Amino acid sequence: MYAAIWRVLPGPWPIRLLLYLALVAAIVYALFMWVFPWAEEAFNINDVTVGAPGASAAAQSIVAESPYLPAWTRL
């Protein structure tokens, strides 16, 4: 895939490198500006329910009894 992109870019290798870096920067910018905010809203990534007032008792007990969590995270 990367070789195909490299072959499509015009010019000698220094120009190709600059174009490739600009392309990568544009993709990263698009991800942070549009894709990640959309995904957060669409999938409720930051909507944590464990330990919340409406969370199930089973979920709260799992968190409270987990030996893998640091002590400060236990209820």
Note whether 31 and 56 are same-domain residues: no
Q: Is the pLDDT of residue 74 over 60?
A: no
Note whether 3 and 39 are same-domain residues: yes
Note whether 52 and 35 are same-domain residues: no
Query: For the chain, first and last CA: distance in Å?
Result: 48
Note whether 32 and 54 are same-domain residues: no
**Tokens 């944590």 belong to residue:** 48
- Residue 28 is part of which domain span? 1-43
Q: How confident is the model at residue 64 (pLDDT cuts 50, 70, 90)?
A: low
Q: What are the backbone dihedrals phi and psi of residue 44, each rounded to the nearest 5 degrees, phi first?
A: 50, 55
Note whether 56 and 32 are same-domain residues: no
Helix (H) or strand (E) holding 35: none
Note whether 58 and 26 are same-domain residues: no
Tell me the residue type at 30: A
Tell me the residue type at 1: M
**pLDDT tens across 3-40, in order?**
898 899 999 999 999 999 999 999 999 999 999 888 88
Note whether 52 and 31 are same-domain residues: no
pTM of the full structure = 0.57
